[in-house]
Amino acid sequence: MRIEKIEKMKFKKNMFKVFFENNESLAIFADSIVKFGIRTGINISENDYKQLASYDKLKRATSDALGLVSKRSYSAKSLYAKLIQKGYDSENAIKAVRKLKELNYINDKKFAKICADYLSQKGKGEFAIRAELEEQGIEESLINEALEIIKTNIEPYEQIIKILKTKFEKFSGKDKNEARRIASFLLRRGFSYQDIAKAFRARSL
C-alpha cells in the first residue's frame, strides 16, 4: 500500500491523516509516524497497516481516557464502560484503563473514599453508599474501608439526627404516622432500622 499524502489535521493536536493509493485514509498520532517510519511515497504491507491501525486505536483510547479523568473521578469499571460507550473495543479499553492505573490516574481505593464521602455529605446512608460503590465495580474490602472512614467522622445515627434537624426540624417522634413517613424516607436514603430508631430516641429526649 503506497502512501500518497500526509496532512496535519485541523483542530486536532498532534494528529495527522495518511492517504493511501487505494483511496483509504487513516488518522494517526504524530508519534505513530515516527514509530512506524511513515512518509510520503513509501509502501507498507497489509500487516504493517494493521499494526499501525491497532497501535493508534490504543493511543486514541488512552488519550480519550486521560481526557475523561481530567474532568472527573472514575473507577476502573466506570472508565472502561465509558470507553466502550465511546466506541472502543474491549481489548483497547482494558489496555487504556490498565495504563492509567499504572500512571495512578485512576485509583479505586481513592475513588471509593471520595465517592463515599460525597454521598455521605449528600445525606446518603451506608446501604446506599455501598450499593453505589458496588455499581462502580469497587472491591468489597475497599468499600468497607471507605465506610469505616466515614464512621470515624460521624456515626450513622448522628448523621440521621443532622438530617432531622435540617429537613424535619419540628419532628419530635411523638406522631407515629409522621415517624413512619420519615423512617421510610431515611430507609430509602440507605440508613438501617437500628440507626433510625437510635436517632429517633435521641431526638425525642
144-188 pLDDT per residue, tens: 999 999 999 889 999 999 999 888 888 877 788 989 999 999 999
Does some domain include residue 51? no
pLDDT averaged over every residue in the chain: 90
122-to-125, 160, 190 alpha-carbon distances in Å: 9, 12, 12
Does some domain include residue 55? no
Check residue 28 and give its pLDDT: 86
Number of structural domains the chain divides into: 4
Regarding whether 81 and 94 lie in a shared domain, the answer is yes
Regarding whether 149 and 111 lie in a shared domain, the answer is yes
How many other C-beta atoms can be found within 10 angstroms of the C-beta atom of residue 191? 24
56-114 pLDDT tens trace = 889 889 999 999 999 999 999 999 999 999 999 999 999 999 999 999 999 999 999 99
Regarding whether 203 and 163 lie in a shared domain, the answer is yes
Check residue 105 and give its pLDDT: 93
203: domain range?
Answer: 156-205
Does some domain include residue 118? yes
Regarding whether 98 and 67 lie in a shared domain, the answer is yes
Q: Indicate whether 125 pLDDT > 60.
A: yes
Does some domain include residue 85? yes
Check residue 129 and give its pLDDT: 96
Regarding whether 32 and 11 lie in a shared domain, the answer is yes
- Asked if residue 57 lies in contact with residue 26, where contact means CB atoms within 8 angstroms, the answer is no
Does some domain include residue 39? yes
- The one-letter amino acid at 184: S
Instruction: Give pTM, 2 decimals.
Output: 0.77
- Asked if residue 52 lies in contact with residue 33, where contact means CB atoms within 8 angstroms, the answer is no
Residues paired with residue 8 on neighbouring β-strands, in sequence order: 16
Check residue 24 and give its pLDDT: 83
- Asked if residue 160 lies in contact with residue 170, where contact means CB atoms within 8 angstroms, the answer is no
10-58 pLDDT tens trace = 877 788 888 988 788 888 888 888 888 888 988 888 888 888 888 888 9
Regarding whether 131 and 160 lie in a shared domain, the answer is no
**pLDDT band at residue 204 under the 50/70/90 scheme:** low
Residues 6+ apart with CB under 8 A from 189: 123, 124, 125, 128, 163
Regarding whether 168 and 179 lie in a shared domain, the answer is yes
- The one-letter amino acid at 34: V
Regarding whether 91 and 112 lie in a shared domain, the answer is no
